[in-house]
Amino acid sequence: MPINVISSGIMTTIQDLGRPGYYHLGIPMGGAMDRLAMRAANLLVGNPEDAAGLESVFVGPELEFTEDATVAVCGAELPPRIDGEEQPTWTALSVKRGQVLSFDFLKAGARAYIAVSGGIDTPPHLGSRATYAIGALGGVDGRAVQPGDSLPLGKASGTARPGTSVPMECRRLPGATAKLRVLPGLYWHRLTEDAQRRFFEDTWKVANEADRMGYRFQGGRPLDFVPREQPFSAGSDPSNITDACYPYGSVQVPSGQEPIVLHRDAVSGGGYFMLGTVISADMDLIGQLQPNTPTQFVKVDMETALAARQERNTLITAIRKAIG
Amino acid sequence: MSRYTFGGDEHVFVEVDEEMSLEAFFTSLAMTNAVREANIDGVTEICPANASFQIKFDPDKIHPQKMMDMLKEMEKTAEKQEAKLNTRIVEVPVYYQDPWTHETLMRFRERHQDPNGTDLDYAARINGFDSVEAFIKAHHSAPWFVSMVGFVSGLPFLYQMVDRSRQIQVPKYLRPRTDTPKQTVGYGGSFSCIYSVRGAGGYQMFGITPMTIFDPRQETPYLRDFMVFFKPGDIVKWRPIDREEYDAITADVQAGRFEPRTKDVVFSLDDFNADMDGTNAKLMEALYAD
How much is the pLDDT for B78? 82
Q: Average pLDDT, stretch A285-311?
A: 98
Q: Does A241 touch chain B (CB under 8 A)?
A: yes
Are residues B198 and B109 part of one domain?
yes
Give the C-alpha separation, B172 to B170, whole Å: 7
Rg of chain B over Cα atoms, rounded to whole angstroms, equals 20
On whether the CB atoms of residues B124 and B170 are closer than 8 A, the answer is no
Are residues A157 and A11 part of one domain?
yes
Are residues B107 and B233 part of one domain?
yes
Task: Annotate chain B with three-state secondary structure.
Answer: CCEEEEECCCEEEEECCCCCCHHHHHHHHHHHHHHHHHCCCCEEEEEECCCEEEEEECCCCCCHHHHHHHHHHHHHHHHHCCCEEEEEEEEEEEEECCHHHHHHHHHCHHHCCCCCCCHHHHHHHHCCCCCHHHHHHHHHHCCEEEEEECCCCCCEEEEECCCHHHCCCECCCCCCECCCCCCEEEEEECEEEECCCCCCECCEEEEECCCCCECCCCCCHHHCCCCECCCCCCEEEEEECCHHHHHHHHHHHHHCCCCCCEEEEEEEHHHHHHCHHHHHHHHHHHHHCC
Q: Identify the CATH number of the domain in which residue B45 sits.
A: 3.30.1360.40
Q: Testing the interface with B: which of A229, A232, A255, A258 to mutate, by most B Cβ within 10 A?
A: A232
Q: Identify the CATH number of the domain in which residue B121 sits.
A: 2.40.100.10
Q: Average pLDDT, stretch A212-237?
A: 94
Domain total in chain B: 2
Are residues B263 and B281 part of one domain?
yes
Name the nearest CA neighbour of B205 among B92, B117, B89. Answer: B117
Are residues A140 and A7 part of one domain?
yes
Taking CB atoms and an 8 Å limit, are B13 and A245 in contact across chains? yes
Are residues A160 and A119 part of one domain?
yes
Give the C-alpha separation, B4 to A43, whole Å: 39
How much is the pLDDT for B175? 84
DSSP state, residue A299:
E
Are residues A183 and A160 part of one domain?
no
Would you place residue A175 in the very low, low, confident or very high pLDDT band (cuts 50, 70, 90)?
Answer: confident
Are residues B267 and B161 part of one domain?
yes
Give the C-alpha separation, A87 to B21, whole Å: 60
Last residue of a domain, one of A145, A170, A195: A170
Percent of chain B with pLDDT over 70: 100
How much is the pLDDT for A174? 87
Last residue of a domain, one of A170, A189, A220: A170
Range of the domain at A99: 3-170
With respect to residue A319, please indicate whether it lies within any of the assigned structural domains: no
Range of the domain at B25: 3-81
How much is the pLDDT for A70? 98
Considering only alpha carbons, which residue of chain B is nearest residue A29?
B45
Residue A86, H or E segment:
strand A85-86
Q: Testing the interface with B: which of A22, A29, A137, A233 to mutate, by most B Cβ within 10 A?
A: A233
Q: Is the dihedral of CA A282, A140, A142, A25 positive or negative?
A: positive
Are residues B103 and B53 part of one domain?
no
How much is the pLDDT for A102? 98
Considering only alpha carbons, which residue of chain A is nearest residue B52?
A244
Give the C-alpha separation, A297 to A283, whole Å: 13
On whether the CB atoms of residues B188 and B106 are closer than 8 A, the answer is no
Considering only alpha carbons, which residue of chain A is nearest residue B5?
A186
Are residues A182 and A96 part of one domain?
no
Last residue of a domain, one of A110, A135, A170: A170
How much is the pLDDT for B83? 87
How much is the pLDDT for B241? 98
CA distances from A14 to A103, A124, B26, B265 (A): 17, 11, 39, 43
Are residues A27 and A143 part of one domain?
yes
Taking CB atoms and an 8 Å limit, are B60 and A26 in contact across chains? no
With respect to residue A27, please indicate whether it lies within any of the assigned structural domains: yes
A71 pLDDT more than 90: yes
Picking from B154, B172, B190, the nearest residue to A233 by CB comes out as B190
Are residues B198 and B72 part of one domain?
no
Q: Which residues is A264 bridged to in the sheet?
A: none
Are residues B67 and B142 part of one domain?
no
Q: What is the mean pLDDT of chain A?
A: 96
B/e letters for B171-199, b = 16+ CB within 10 Å, e = fewer, are bbbeeebeebbbbbbbbbbbbbbbbbbeb
On whether the CB atoms of residues B194 and B183 are closer than 8 A, the answer is yes
Are residues A213 and A139 part of one domain?
no
On whether the CB atoms of residues A203 and A297 are closer than 8 A, the answer is no
Give the C-alpha separation, A55 to B209, whole Å: 36
Name the nearest CA neighbour of A113 among A16, A7, A9. Answer: A16
Last residue of a domain, one of B31, B56, B81: B81
Last residue of a domain, one of B81, B101, B128: B81
With respect to residue A109, please indicate whether it lies within any of the assigned structural domains: yes
Are residues B98 and B26 part of one domain?
no
With respect to residue A307, please indicate whether it lies within any of the assigned structural domains: yes
Are residues A185 and A151 part of one domain?
no
How much is the pLDDT for B82? 84
Q: Does A279 touch chain B (CB under 8 A)?
A: yes
Would you place residue A105 in the very low, low, confident or very high pLDDT band (cuts 50, 70, 90)?
Answer: very high
Give the C-alpha separation, A240 to A257, whole Å: 13
Last residue of a domain, one of B33, B52, B81: B81
Are residues B30 and B126 part of one domain?
no
B290 pLDDT more than 90: no
Are residues A214 and A247 part of one domain?
yes
Cβ neighbours of A26 in B, within 8 Å = 149-155, 196, 228
Percent of chain B with pLDDT over 90: 91
Are residues B128 and B93 part of one domain?
yes
Are residues B95 and B16 part of one domain?
no
Give the C-alpha separation, A277 to B11, whole Å: 9
Give the gap in angstroms from C-alpha B173 to the nearest C-alpha of chain A.
Answer: 11
On whether the CB atoms of residues A293 and A217 are closer than 8 A, the answer is no
Taking CB atoms and an 8 Å limit, are A279 and B9 in contact across chains? yes
With respect to residue A320, please indicate whether it lies within any of the assigned structural domains: no
Domain total in chain A: 2
A124 pLDDT more than 90: yes
Strand-pair category, A250-252 with A100-103: unpaired
Q: Which residues is A55 bridged to in the sheet?
A: A13, A113
Would you place residue A157 in the very low, low, confident or very high pLDDT band (cuts 50, 70, 90)?
Answer: very high
Are residues B162 and B21 part of one domain?
no
Q: Identify the CATH number of the domain in which residue A259 sits.
A: 2.40.100.10
On whether the CB atoms of residues A212 and A286 are closer than 8 A, the answer is no
Give the gap in angstroms from C-alpha A132 to the nearest C-alpha of chain B.
Answer: 10
A1 pLDDT more than 80: no
Are residues A236 and A151 part of one domain?
no
SS3 A77: strand
Are residues A154 and A184 part of one domain?
no
Q: Does B171 touch chain A (CB under 8 A)?
A: yes
* Identity of residue B130: D
**Residue range B214-241, pLDDT digits in tens:** 999 999 999 999 999 999 999 999 999 9
Cβ neighbours of B13 in A, within 8 Å = 185-186, 244-245, 247
With respect to residue A322, please indicate whether it lies within any of the assigned structural domains: no
B3 pLDDT more than 90: yes
Q: Average pLDDT, stretch A279-287?
A: 98
Taking CB atoms and an 8 Å limit, are B8 and A125 in contact across chains? no
With respect to residue A293, please indicate whether it lies within any of the assigned structural domains: yes
Are residues A188 and A163 part of one domain?
no
Please, is A69 exposed, middle or buried when counting C-beta atoms within 10 Å of its C-beta (0-12, 13-18, 19+)? Answer: buried
**A residues 182-211 near B, CB within 8 Å?**
183, 185-186, 188
Q: Is the dihedral of CA B140, B146, B147, B153 positive or negative?
A: positive
Picking from B5, B157, B191, the nearest residue to A186 by CB comes out as B5
Considering only alpha carbons, which residue of chain A is nearest residue B53?
A245
Give the C-alpha separation, B284 to B236, whole Å: 10
